């Protein structure tokens, strides 16, 4: 474990009681406040062990009962096995959550998720799947502090019925939907407990066989806060290859990406085209104009080279957003960043809002070098289809 200096935390009141892993009454009060605010009875905790032997205690808003003890327990989301899952026991509620109480103060720098019941495409599609996510931290008996709100995206399929318009009304039987989701650069401050709240995909997008929301994996990425020496104790990454290398690539590139975009590790045969000239035949003209306006707002211009455009305007979609990591079966990997969500209001007798989503995509070779950078739309036509992951 390596140590690095950090801003002074001498003035921070400690939440640790006597003995390693203890919590003060103030911090416990904060965790109980979260349950009380949701109108719930505090659930029993289960012990888990993270990297470097760091202990934590996890609990859930509810758990599906089973004849097999522990089959759907909260701890399943932290066991490193995508074939197991936490499954809620109160389907249809809007307060499904998992809570982690650390034995140490930590500073988070990311999380890895495997949403749904990722044992197979069948179990994935049979259960409710997370859509929107809220990430909160707890400190010193205060109300939860929101760290991040984001959405997950999946490959959808078009359902066409006679006499009805085409629409995307189901999650596709596509392996990309089982891909892990990586979010980096999460919290600037130290925390001792954090909660992930989830809302299921609406039934007009996916109607599962079972209404219970499932989550196969949630791996928090963190370093320990050494309050005595005012340092961060850097822990080895809990991720395995290739996620370990991919996360490190992004973490190394991220801090300097706008000033030094050339630090993106390019393959010798890398292809980068201007983001202002990329061919997006399915993108309406109004959405293309909105996308280019966003590029310019972030100081990207058509006269710049593509690497500079990426660093200034596009790379942000791979940080503080969930990135879908798709394996190319030994040939490399595709990283699908958080989409540009473009919208316009259409006035008139029946006013409505029109949406368009554009996904940035990084393709890596087996040596984790970037070979191609693209912008993609879903390629599907129909209601709800614009938010589908692109076919690649």
At 294 the pLDDT is 97
Domains of the chain, by residue range, sit at 2-239, 247-387
Give the predicted TM-score (pTM) of the model: 0.89
CB atoms within 10 A of CB 35: 17
Q: For residue 64, which phi and psi values (nearest 5 degrees)? A: -65, 130
At 93 the pLDDT is 62
Task: Tell whether the model's pLDDT for residue 98 goes beyond 60.
Answer: yes
Task: Tell me the C-alpha distance between 314 and 312, whole Å.
Answer: 6
The domain defined by 2-239 folds into: Jelly Rolls (2.60.120)
At 43 the pLDDT is 63
Query: pLDDT, tens digit, for every residue of 142-197?
Result: 677 888 889 999 999 998 888 788 999 999 999 999 999 999 986 667 889 999 99
Closest alpha carbon to 65 in 46, 85, 88: 88
Q: Please report the sign of the dihedral spanned by the C-alpha atoms of residue 117, residue 118, residue 124, residue 126.
A: negative
No. of H helices and E strands in the chain? Answer: 5, 19
Q: Please report the sign of the dihedral spanned by the C-alpha atoms of residue 317, residue 323, residue 324, residue 329.
A: positive
At 5 the pLDDT is 41
At 311 the pLDDT is 96
Q: What is the mean pLDDT of the chain?
A: 87
Per-residue pLDDT, averaged over 341-366, amounts to 93
Query: pLDDT, tens digit, for every residue of 275-328?
Result: 999 999 999 999 999 999 999 999 999 999 999 999 999 999 999 999 999 999
Query: pLDDT, tens digit, for every residue of 190-202?
Result: 889 999 999 999 9
Residue 254 per-residue DSSP state = G
Query: pLDDT, tens digit, for every residue of 47-81?
Result: 999 988 899 999 999 999 999 999 999 999 999 99
Residue 127 per-residue DSSP state = S
Task: Tell whether the model's pLDDT for residue 101 goes beyond 90.
Answer: yes
Query: pLDDT, tens digit, for every residue of 235-270?
Result: 999 999 999 999 999 999 998 899 999 999 999 999
Share of the chain above pLDDT 70, in %: 87
At 372 the pLDDT is 95
Q: What is the secondary structure of 96-116 as a DSSP string?
A: EEEEEEEEEEEEEEEEEEEEB
């Amino acid at each position: 474990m390596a140590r690095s200096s950090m801003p002074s935390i001498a003035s921070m009141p400690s939440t640790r009681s006597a003995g390693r892993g203890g919590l003060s009454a103030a911090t416990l009060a904060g965790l109980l406040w979260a349950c009380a605010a949701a109108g719930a009875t505090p659930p029993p905790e289960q012990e888990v062990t993270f990297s470097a032997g760091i202990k934590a205690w996890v609990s859930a808003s509810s758990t599906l009962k089973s004849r097999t003890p522990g089959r759907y327990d909260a701890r399943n989301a932290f066991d490193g096995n995508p074939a197991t899952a936490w499954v809620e026991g109160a389907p249809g509620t809007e307060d499904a959550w998992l809570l982690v109480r650390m034995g140490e103060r930590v500073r988070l720098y990311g999380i890895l998720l495997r949403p749904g019941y990722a044992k197979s495409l069948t179990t994935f599609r049979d259960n409710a799947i997370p859509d929107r996510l809220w990430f909160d931290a707890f400190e010193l008996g205060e109300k939860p502090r929101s760290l991040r709100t984001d959405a997950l995206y999946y490959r959808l399929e078009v359902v066409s019925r006679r006499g009805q318009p085409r629409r995307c009304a189901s999650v596709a039987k596509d392996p990309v939907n089982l891909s892990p989701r990586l979010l980096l650069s999460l919290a600037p401050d130290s925390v001792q407990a954090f909660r992930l709240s989830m809302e299921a995909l609406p039934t007009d997008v996916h109607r599962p066989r079972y209404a219970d929301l499932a989550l196969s994996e949630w791996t928090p990425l963190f370093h320990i806060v050494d309050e005595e020496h005012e340092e961060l104790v850097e822990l080895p990454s809990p991720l395995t290859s290739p996620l370990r290398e991919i996360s490190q690539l992004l973490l190394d590139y991220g801090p300097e990406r706008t000033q030094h975009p050339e630090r993106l590790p390019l393959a010798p045969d890398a292809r980068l085209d201007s983001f202002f000239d990329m061919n997006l035949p399915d993108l309406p003209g109004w959405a293309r104009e909105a996308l280019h306006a966003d590029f310019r707002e972030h100081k990207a211009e058509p006269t710049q080279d593509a690497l500079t455009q990426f660093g200034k305007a596009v790379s942000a979609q791979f940080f503080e957003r969930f990135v879908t990591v798709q394996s190319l079966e030994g040939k490399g990997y595709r990283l699908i960043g958080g989409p540009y969500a473009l919208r316009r209001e259409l006035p008139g007798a029946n006013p409505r809002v029109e949406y368009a989503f554009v996904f940035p995509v990084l393709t890596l070779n087996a040596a984790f070098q970037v070979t191609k950078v693209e912008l993609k739309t879903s390629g599907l036509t129909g209601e709800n289809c614009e938010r589908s992951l692109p076919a690649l």
